[in-house]
Structure 1
Amino acid sequence: MLAEKLLLNMLITISPVLIYSVLADNKRKLDSPVVCGLLQSMAALTCMIFSYANYGFSWDLRYVSLILAFLYAGPVAGGMVFTTIFTTRIIMGGETVLFGLVNTVLIAVVPFLILNRFWRFTPNKRVILTAIIGAWSLLVCFLSLTAFHSVKGQSLTINTNIPDLLIVGLIDTIAIAIAAKLNEGLVEKSRMKEKIQRAEKLNTLGELAASIAHEVRNPLTVVKGFLQLMQQDEKGKNYDYLSLVLSELGRAEAIINDYLNFAKPQFEKLEEFPLVHVLSEVKMLLEPFAVKQGVQLESSLDTSNFQLLTDRNQLKQALVNLIKNAIEATPEGGKVTLTYKLKDNHAYIYITDTGKGMDHDQLARLGTLFYTTKDKGTGLGTSVSLRIIETMKGKVSYESKLGIGTEVTMILPEGKKEIVNF
């Protein structure tokens, strides 16, 4: 009877994920934690209704919903499930009501405390961590059961041929692991959808930018050439005006080149070189700019002989843009740190600043053409940098908190020239 009840509970705990995926396919808005909290609360309540009473306790999988709500939907959803379980347990009453309330509090504390660090782990580690917290909930319940029998002056004995406690532990672990894995699938699906939509937008914008840039650059080159000829013969007051016009035309030409580079980065000269040398050069190049801004630029570079095979100038352009953004986002007296580490044949470059930071919406739009957080800017620098790193088969990710700062993580794969033996 216990196994049947818990297997039913397992289906109930999985149902919110399945309902959530159906709603996602129907393109309804469900990113609100309230929706997740409502679904998980209903699952927890249903589990409590279909519980198995034995040893003076009601055995069910209500805490699976509580843990999942906190970890995968946030404190609002977790708080909703906690309130549902707490209130329902008071209404149910009984001589073990105090033990049940204490269990709920102790079990809810752990996922609440690790909530901020949970998403720093890889998907598989998140599933394992969720299962471990599920084991913690079982331990709390069993300790509570022992305490209850001790208060009653009884010893805890199992007078059945089936090891009930092992069944509870096994089904609970399987249920929370399956539910966590399904949640990870939804998270991955959502991220893949965002990446596909972003890639489509970037490709469309890239094609548009390239076509416009080509059409504008041709007449611009003609105008610039005639103005240069006119400047050679001009010695009067108009000479300064022509110099200013040529300077602005040069700036316009640089912007057009950025558009073309965004559309398709041109790797004109592929060469093999140590990454640490380029990082040192970029740091030296930007140190005067950092001093001018009143910002301290520090570095911690791994001296390992990590070789890259790519266009050195394009990589430098990407690094300069990203580090310069960090310096400009940092107020006077702040600090920007450039860190380089080697992990699993990949170079990890961290650019950390103590600037104003960005909220979730700003992070989501970062790298989009024409979007910038600066008062003056086109947003091309970041877009071009991300496109260059992407072309190098690298990855760039951002973590930021308002008022604390931003950390840019760049991951580059190792590249070496192939040696051909004849």
Structure 2
Amino acid sequence: MDFIYINQNVLDNLFYILVSIFVFFVLIDNLKTSLKNYQKILMTACMSLPSILCMKFPIYIDEYCIHDLRQIPFLIGILYGGWPVGVALLIILLTTRFFIYGFNSLTLIVYIVIFIITALFSKKFSMFNRKNKLIFSVLLSLFLGILTTSIAVIMSDSFRVTEAYMFYFIFLPPVVMFFVVYIIEILSEAINLRSKITKLEKMEVVSQLAASISHEVRNPLTVVKGFIDLLKDPDLSPEDRERYLQHVVRELKSAETIINDYLTYAKPTTEDIGIIFIDREIRSIIEMTKPMANMNSVKISEELAPGITRGNIQHFKQCLLNLIKNSIEAMPNGGEFSVVTTVSKFDIIIEISDTGVGMSKEQISRFGEPYYSTKEKGTGLGSMVIVKTIETMNGKIKIDSVLNKGTTIRITLPSYTS
């Protein structure tokens, strides 16, 4: 067949169909809904538009017949949306056809036949794998082309099967169907695969958290069990008993801290959202950590500009407390620690700096991962709390660090004006 038939109008029809399919998957992917009724409505809208455009801008017009690729989105809608989508598309297609070109009984019969045959196989089509869908769609399109041509020849004495008609109505649609179905299957698999990967990532985090919690909580509980066994000794002196009890309390507090960090990370943060006065909360946390800083010979300086943001106050305080504690603990031999806030119309920047041991590039890249910590006895839960809290508040965190020189953590949060 001569390629003279592949003209601008053919490419326009293909463009309408392919763009509508891409729009359908973009909307499905971004709106994140699994409601079948919504998907069917969207399928109807996205397949009716190219059908109308194909009729409005046909491939060619001669004295005998008008040709276009309106049957391709019609078939796609029925195969992937079922008979409800097919009925809606049939009504839209026939209404548009009769409005543009006038009523024609042959057109009515042809598209009703196409609808009935395709709808009968739509359920079975949905259970096919990609290969079988491709084969079936090509054979169905070819069969329907031959069948409807035969009906037209029988019903109309003036109907002529020209070479152009054979190309546009018999041979071209199966080829287009092959590529359209292939594209749809690829896009569907890509969306499903990304969804599965997201679920696997969540399961991996849960697995790591479970391993971290069980490992870290077991250690203090083992110590507690050992001291409780020692407390059973009837000849134990009061001094030793008091000392053992202090060890028990300390280890239980350690286990409690680990569990609280985990709960802070895992607990939904959609409730208790309120106004946070940044300078006030940071000043309060600094006062809480001053005894710890004094014990480590750490000098604290602050330069706090008043600013307001929104979020969960308790989680925000826990986040800042973890960051400040990390900075102080990174300077066991003393050093300087500073907190500086900068407020603009749109952003609040919190800059926390220390002159501690610093972090390597690998440690920075893994900051916030479960079961990874720069501390010898750390769980990584504290850094996860920090990252999750900032993300929940629509903020960003950036870490700059040099080993044995210090670390600067820059948090950017949206500014709120009441």
TM-score (norm 2): 0.46
The structure with the larger Rg is: 2
TM-score (norm 1): 0.46
